[in-house]
Amino acid sequence: MRLPALAAATTAALALALGALSPTPAATGTATSAASLFSPRLVTVDTPTAAHKDRLAALGLDLTEHAGHDYVEVVLHNPADLLALVAGGFTFDVRIADLVRRGIEVAEINEAYAARVAGSPLPSGRDTYRTLADYEADMAALARDHRTIVKRFALDRPSLDGRAVHGVEIGEDVRRPASGRPTFVLLGVHHAREWPSGENAMEFAVDLATSYGKDRRITRLLRQARVVVVPVVNVDGFDLSRTDGEYVDLRALNDVDPLGGSLSVLATPGHAYKRKNCRVLDGVDTPDGTCRASLTSSGGFGIGVDLNRNYGGFWGGPGAAASTPDLANVEAGVLDPTYRGAAAFSEPETQNVRDLVSERQVTMLISNHTFGNLILRPNGVDPKTLGPDGKPVGDAPDEQALKRLGAAMAAHNGYDNIHGWELYDTTGTTEDWSYNATGGFGYTFEIGPDEFHPPFPDVVDQYRGAGTYAGRGNRGAYLVALEHTVDTAHHGVLRGTAPAGTVLRLRKEFRSPTWESAYDDVVDSTITVPRSGRFRWVVNPSTRPVVQPRTYRVDGVTRTTAGRREAYTLTCERRGKVVQRSKVFVDRGQVVRLGTACRR
């Protein structure tokens, strides 16, 4: 259905809109009254120009990651959301008229699928969504059953609710000290309601572990790289969404339900479409185990921090709400879906990812999200936008290479390969920080065409590919990403000799820009020289993209900012003491021969 654009918001307009969009009419007056209650819904809003997108973003609604050049999909949680959209003069189509009822339908589809199949075609054979306990059990089983190539680990910081956040590291001889192989980091579930993002990440971990020694391509890649998979970054939020999303099944009472079956809808818990983490007050931890006692989260709204706006990369800029409500931009402050947190990396979940990336040479990173069938690359802000220095932010220095790799991955999953800002402006995102701080390529995958947690058979198709992309899918895209991880045409290589057992440390301390100021950041990775005394270390370039020259156009004139060159500090450490220190410059595709790096 399409609503006409209206010049002003009125109660009559809202009543008309609600009447046009009400659920299926019921036969009795009681049921009709229940049906007229507003249900959360997904709508496709027409945005024919960039100005329309900007105006839509300023309404403070729950924008999804599904958008194109002339539309953005939005979740409407209550009548006020609908009123804001109508009053803003937007036209839209209703995609899913009742997300709660759709959730129940999906649960029924999943039940039928699990009953019909002995096991899915996924590497794990799973036939339904994992719970948090399932993820924990599967990671533990991988490490137990594949000890030589899989190691389970806990990230440094527990969640606000006191949960450990686990991941798995996969590679040949994974339990030995790092010896110079690059790392591919694959992340899932920053946003609690985006269940397929964790499933795809976990299935790739299972795929690698079970294919090693059997699949020639995977075996070769695991001999050259380490793969780190953290399937659930936002453990607290996901646990709430996943358990609330497994709806209270009251269908057995439908025959005696005076609301004609609507009771199951009205009794549905309130965190199924939660977006953020469990932060209640900035800077204040909550007692462990109390997250569930928090107020229900009406989709993206309510308490919590949007973790994918909390990273340091230009934190605090466009597309991320501040703590104070902004009436001019219709931002709801801490209750806003895109609330960025009190400071860059204020949340334990983002601190975990920062440490993970900073302590390794991560030459490739993918952060999985849902939905939109998109591959998003840096930067997250329109290049014409004036940055903190008063100049247009421009494109990423590696734009052409980032675009080519995105296209190579899209050839497997069929996703649109676009800049992050072509969806809408965002700042403080995972890959914008990781790329600009380390030089390692980073992307967001928006998995699936049209739902946050679709029927599970759709997850199977997304991972394995379907139709034109059968046999490829995200599995094929991840393998392309893993090949990029080891491709030294895009990374630097340090070669040399040193006494066996010496710890080589590459460290770089720097100030990373936020939209308002800057913060202290660091890259600090180590390897241990093997018994041969010879080492080969694949590393990211020493100069960060954010300080490289950038080109932009003003009034038809091309201009280039001044850049600067940065170095790593290379130290040799024996028995915990630094015995030598030197500066190392390395660029993409460069092999730096250090000779004898550490004198005996």
pLDDT digits (tens, 9 = 90+) for 266-285: 334 478 888 999 999 999 98
Please name the amino acid found at residue 274. K
Tell me phi and psi for residue 333, to 5 degrees: 65, -135
Give the long-range contacts of residues 19-28, CB within 8 A, separation 24 or more: 21/82, 21/94, 21/97, 23/97, 23/98, 23/101, 26/260, 26/262, 27/260, 28/260
Residue 467: other Cβ atoms inside 10 A: 7
Q: What Å distances lie between residue 594 and 546, 582, 584, CA to CA?
A: 27, 10, 9
- pLDDT average, residue stretch 475-496: 97
> Is the CB of residue 110 less than 8 Å from the CB of residue 456?
yes
pLDDT-derived band at 2 (thresholds 50, 70, 90) equals very low
Retrieve residue 321's tokens. Answer: 């709400």
CA neighbours closer than 13 Å in the CB half-sphere of residue 444: 31
The pair of structure tokens assigned to 68 is 């194109």
Banded pLDDT at 28 (limits 50, 70, 90): very low
- CA 216 → CA 198, 208, 211, distances in Å? 26, 11, 9
Mean pLDDT in residue range 431-456: 94
* Band of pLDDT at residue 46, cut at 50, 70 and 90: very high
pLDDT at position 1 over 80:
no
Per DSSP, the three-state class of 85 is helix
Question: Rounded to an integer, what distance in angstroms lies between the CA atom of residue 560 and that of residue 578?
Answer: 40
Instruction: Identify the residue whose tokens are 């801490």.
Output: 334
Nearest of 413, 539, 434, 544 to residue 479 by alpha carbon = 413
- Evaluate if residue 400 carries a pLDDT over 80: yes
62 forms bridges with which residues in the sheet?
Answer: 75
Residue 327's pLDDT band, with cuts at 50, 70 and 90, is low
Residue 249 pLDDT? 41
Question: What average pLDDT does this structure show over 52-66?
Answer: 82
- Return the pLDDT at 300: 63
| Lowest pLDDT segment from 156-170, 289-303, 458-472 | 289-303
For all residues of the chain together, what is the average pLDDT?
A: 86
Q: At what angle do helices 456-464 and 473-486 cross, to 10 degrees?
A: 40
Q: How many CB atoms lie within 10 A of CB 141?
A: 15
Output the six-digit token pair for 37: 């209650």
User: Which of 261, 332, 295 is CA-nearest to residue 100?
Assistant: 261
Is pLDDT at 508 greater than 60 in this prediction? yes
Q: Is 446 a catalytic residue?
A: yes
CA-closest candidate to residue 449, choices 77, 67, 106, 91: 67
Could you tell me if 482 and 232 are in contact, meaning their C-beta atoms sit under 8 angstroms apart?
no
Which class for 234: exposed (0-12), middle (13-18), buried (19 or more C-beta within 10 A)? buried
264 pLDDT higher than 80? no
Q: Which amino acid type is present at position 491?
A: H
Question: For residue range 530-585, what is the model confidence (pLDDT) as tens digits?
Answer: 999 999 999 999 999 999 998 877 777 888 888 999 999 999 998 888 888 999 99
Sorted by where each starts, the structural domains of the chain and their CATH numbers stand as 11-97 (3.30.70), 105-238+342-486 (3.40.630.10), 492-596 (2.60.40.3390)
What is the helix (H) or strand (E) element at residue 187, kind and residue range? strand 183-187
Estimate to the nearest angstrom the gap between the alpha carbon of 598 and the chain centroid: 40
Residues 141-172: tens digit of each pLDDT: 999 999 999 999 999 999 999 999 999 999 99
Pick from 462, 448, 435, 463: nearest CA to 365: 435
Query: How many C-beta atoms lie closer than 10 Å to residue 345's C-beta?
Result: 21
Stretch among 42-51, 355-364, 434-443 having the lowest mean pLDDT: 42-51
Instruction: Identify which of 162, 317, 331, 178 has the alpha carbon closest to the alpha carbon of residue 235.
Output: 162
pLDDT of residue 63: 84
Catalytic-role residue among 422, 431, 446, 483: 446
Query: Is beta strand 591-596 parallel, antiparallel or unpaired with respect to 492-497?
Result: parallel
- What are phi and psi for residue 127, nearest 5 degrees? -125, 10
Residue with structure tokens 């953005």? 72
DSSP states along 261-302: TTHHHHT--S-TT--S----BTTB---TT-GGGSPP--TT-S
The pLDDT of residue 496 is above 70: yes
Cis peptide bond prior to 238, omega within 30° of 0: no
